[in-house]
Amino acid sequence: MEQTKKKIVIGSGKGGVGKSMLTAGLSYLFSQENKIVALDCDVDAPNLAIWLNEAGNWAEEIPVATSFKPVIDRKKCNNCGLCAQKCPFGALKMKEGKLTFNRFLCEGCGLCEAICPQKAITLKKVKNGLIKIKKTQYGFPLITGKLLPGETGSGKVVSEIEKVAEQQEYQLMVIDSSPGTGCPVIAAMRMADYAVLVTEPTPSGVADLERILEVVNHFNVPWSLVINKYDINPAMTKTIEENFGLDKIIGRISYDQAIFKAVARFQPIMETELKAKEEIKEIFNKLKQYAQTT
């Protein structure tokens, strides 16, 4: 029978709600029963490798060049200032009659190249990311990518991670998304067959959950919800359950400072005897139906 490949994205409206911890635990548990590949698509702050104690000894590193920056031909430029007037991000400016360029403000939109009357600007591809690959101690491949400091194009780096991951043999892709609703999140949710959203019982946790749900619903991705640190604010946990639907909640994880002590020792949660380990197992058991791959 032909195997169906599935992609589960673990996302959150805000950072620091336990998304990578949950992804690490689920990757480990799914790998016991399925051929999986784990992806860290949180390209602004990738840390899935840390939660798996896999931060070193990468087998392969692949540079990514998906962003563009203008190169100005000073011999052709007559410093007319038009591009500086029109650059939507303030990357081009006139200073003492001379055109200046700040690459850190440039989004590579290409407007300056298109409008320069002297054809003095050409957009060139620049290296903006790095993808790293390894086989983990648990036997499944881990692919992680990062956006280089000051560079743009985080969504495109996520798409490159996906392309590299597609070269692996897998039944299930487990994807740690960036938090929020920006380009890398859109790039991750675009490929999702199913989304597990993680939140915490705080006002910002709830507000940001509502925002990411707009992205998830835009792509018609079926989803469920995990409340991390549910016991720090039982009243708000109850509100989340009522507002988002009890049937949507597939798990709750307790607040436990020992989790941070474990990760500081590079000890994956699934190798501890912490309560969170059992709570993640319960979430996994509820998710299993989405991983049925044949």
Contacting positions for ligand SF4 (CB under 6 A): 70, 72, 77-83, 87, 89, 91-92, 99, 106-112, 116, 118, 120-121
Q: Tell me the closest approach of the beta carbon of residue 96 to ligand SF4, in angstroms.
A: 13
Minimum distance from residue 65 beta carbon to ligand SF4 (Å): 16
- Containing 35, the helix (H) or strand (E) segment is none
Name which of 108 and 179 has its Cβ closer to ligand SF4.
Answer: 108
Minimum distance between the CB of residue 127 and ligand SF4, rounded to whole angstroms?
16
H-helix segments, 80-233: 82-86, 111-115, 154-166, 183-190, 203-218
Q: Which is nearer to ligand SF4, 89 or 219 (CB)?
A: 89
What's the CA gap between 47 and 42, in Å, rounded? 8
d(CA 36, CA 264): 26
* Shortest distance, position 183 Cβ to ligand SF4, whole Å: 15
Nearer to ligand SF4, 110 or 245 (CB): 110
Task: Tell me the backbone φ, ψ of residue 179, rounded to 5 degrees.
Answer: -80, 165
Radius of gyration of the chain (CA): 22
What is the SS3 assignment for 176?
strand
Among residues 64 and 92, whose Cβ is nearest to ligand SF4?
A: 92
**Cα 176 from Cα 43, distance rounded (Å):** 10
Are 147 and 128 spatial neighbours (Cβ–Cβ below 8 Å)?
yes
Say if residues 174 and 38 touch (Cβ distance below 8 Å).
yes
Query: 175 pairs with which residues across the strands?
Result: 9, 39
Least separation in angstroms between residue 82's CB and ligand SF4 is 4
> Which CB sits closer to ligand SF4, 53 or 118?
118
H-run or E-run covering 84: helix 82-86
Nearer to ligand SF4 (CB atom), residue 62 or residue 148? 148
- Kindly state the smallest distance separating residue 69's Cβ from ligand SF4, in Å: 7
Shortest Cβ 126–ligand SF4 spacing (Å):
11
Cα separation values, 252 from 52, 178, 207, 270, Å: 21, 21, 18, 16
Cα 142 from Cα 40, distance rounded (Å): 8
Instruction: Give whichever of 117 and 234 is closer to ligand SF4, judged by the CB atom.
Output: 117
Smaller CB separation from ligand SF4, 110 or 234: 110
Q: How far is the CB of 88 from ligand SF4 (least distance, A)?
A: 6
Which residue in the block uniquely carries the two structure tokens 């563009």?
Answer: 68
Residue 153, token pair as written in the block: 């194009």
DSSP state, residue 3: P
